[in-house]
Structure formats: structure tokens, C-alpha cells
Amino acid sequence: MSKNYRSQLVGVFGYPVDENPTGVIEEAAFAAKKLDFRYITMLVEPTGLAGAMAGLRAMHFRGVNLTIPHKVEVLKYLDELSPAAKIIGAVNTVVAKEGKLWGDNTDGKGFLASLVDEGVAVAGKKVALLGAGGAARAIGVELALAGAAVVRVVNRDPGRGEDLVGVISRETPAKGEYIPWRGTAAIPGDSDIVVNATPVGLYPKVDDRPDIDYSWFSSARVVADVVFNDPNTLFLQAAAERGAKCINGLGMLVNQGAVNFTLWTGVEAPKDVMTQALKREFGL
């Protein structure tokens, strides 16, 4: 009987990348599904991306994740893009398919799935999105494609904010609106969902929270944060105090990992195993 000693390889390219916990959840999922896949966390500097992408092809990787600062730069090394990745203009997941590299963006899909897991429907809703960076672009576009009526982008930099609003209004059925963020931002009173897609509150600056008027929060609202380290941000604590439904950044991370797992393996992801692995890793 012939044996196969060659594992299927996936992983992540980033700079910095040492503290990226995705490998923990993917490896737990591979083990649970008894798949001979390995997820390798790789330090790739900006000047090394071309070589790393060539290496990906040469070493027959099944795919890879991209994180800071490679999500836009990687586009030039790919053969095909998903419709969402084309609209967002950034890729966080590459899949090797019959010799071609196909790029998708699963950040927003993971976020959307974390809402669905908590019973939150997006269709027809008015969303206020804090931030217009990489995570916000992916989330804004996916919420718009999932049927949100309006996506209000609240951002300090008008250029980045208006660019995302333009993409949403032109490329999706939703309406995009830009809300300038100078001083304390006021969230429009009829918004149903507010999402913090800025890094405010991320470790080690856990005593920070976005500068918005918190009187908007109430039991009628859904409040979500992308920050997952520490997941119990001051932003979510303020929302919980006022009775809002709170969704932390762990769900987005696990769901994004689950989407990637299925893209690479073709197998349904063991989300419970992945959630438990992440919670263990964070001592939760």
C-alpha cells in the first residue's frame, strides 16, 4: 500500500503576523475533521510578497490568507477574483484551483455570519459603520449585498469615507451615506445596527472607546465590534449597560476562518471546535 507523507499546505502571510491567532482555529478544525492539512503562520515583508506568491505556486500550497499590509498589493499576483473581492478591492483569502490563484474577501462574510449566528437579520436595516479601512470596506460591502437598506459610513478622513460610500452606492443595491467624524460623532437616531470597524479599543489600548454619543444605544439596537482582543470592549460594555444586543469580534474571526476552511478543503467547518479553540487560546 502506498503512503502519502505530504501534507496540504495553507497559512497566512503578514507583517507583523506573530500574534495572529488564525492558525490555532484552523489547525483545531483540521484535526477535528481528520484532514492532513497544515496552517503555517509566515512573516512576509512588503518587499517579499512577490517571492512569497511565487513560492506559494511552486510549493503547491492549497491557498493562503493575507493580512496587513498585503490585502491590496496581492491583487497583482492573482488570476481571478470573487465578485465581492472585486468590489471591495482587497483580498484576504487565496485558493489554488487547477493551477490558478483565485482571491476572495471573507472578512465581511465572517462578520455577516456572526450576525446570523445571533439571529440578527440585515435585510432592510439601516447600518451605521464606524471606520472606512480594510475591515469596514469588507463589512460595508457585504452588508449592502445582503440587503441592508442604508450603510452610513462614519469616518474621520473624508476621502476614505466618501470612497467607500461611492463603492456601496454604485456597486450594490444599498444606499451609501457619508457622515463626517469630527469630535463626538452623533449616530442617526433611526439606525438599527452600529458596527465599530475601527481598531479603537484593541489591546493594549483597552481603555479607549470610539468617540461617539452613547445616548443612542438602547434595547432596540444591535451593536457589534470587530475588535477581538480583548473581545469585551468598553464600546460593547457601554452598549450592554443600555440594553443593546451586543456582538463581539470573536464571531467574525471564527466565521471568517470557517469560510476559509471550507474554501480550501471543501468540507463543512466544525465551528464549535473552532470557537472553543479560540476561547481556550484567549483564556475565556
Which residues are marked as active site?
Answer: 71
- For ligand NDP, which residue of 112, 165, 194, 227 counts as binding (CB under 6 A)? 227
Closer CB to ligand NDP, 55 or 186, in the complex: 186
Kindly state the smallest distance separating residue 252's Cβ from ligand NDP, in Å: 4
- What number of chain residues touch ligand NDP (CB under 6 A)? 26
Closer CB to ligand NDP, 128 or 227, in the complex: 227
- For ligand NDP, which residue of 32, 35, 202, 206 counts as binding (CB under 6 A)? 202
Closer CB to ligand NDP, 38 or 160, in the complex: 160
Closer CB to ligand NDP, 9 or 259, in the complex: 259
Interaction mask 132-151, ligand NDP, x per CB under 6 A:
xxxxx---------------
Kindly state the smallest distance separating residue 140's Cβ from ligand NDP, in Å: 11
Closer CB to ligand NDP, 122 or 227, in the complex: 227
Closest-approach residue to ligand NDP (CB): 133
Kindly state the smallest distance separating residue 22's Cβ from ligand NDP, in Å: 9
Neighbour-count burial for 91-111, b at 16+ CB within 10 Å, e otherwise: bbbbbbeeeebbbbbbbbbbb
Q: Map the footprint of ligand NDP across residues 42-71, applying CB under 6 A.
A: none
User: Under the criterion CB under 6 A, does residue 107 sit at the interface with ligand NDP?
Assistant: yes
User: Under the criterion CB under 6 A, does residue 38 sit at the interface with ligand NDP?
Assistant: no
Among the listed ranges 58-66, 248-256, 260-268, 270-278, the one in contact with ligand NDP (CB under 6 A) is 248-256
Neighbour-count burial for 18-45, b at 16+ CB within 10 Å, e otherwise: eeebbbbbbbbbbeeeebebebebbebe
- For ligand NDP, which residue of 65, 105, 198, 275 counts as binding (CB under 6 A)? 198
Cα–Cα nearest to 95, from 78, 108, 113, 110: 78
Closer CB to ligand NDP, 7 or 203, in the complex: 203
Q: Map the footprint of ligand NDP across residues 163-192, applying CB under 6 A.
A: 181
Contact footprint for ligand NDP (CB under 6 A): 107, 110, 131-136, 155-157, 160, 181, 197-200, 202, 210, 226-228, 249, 252-253, 256
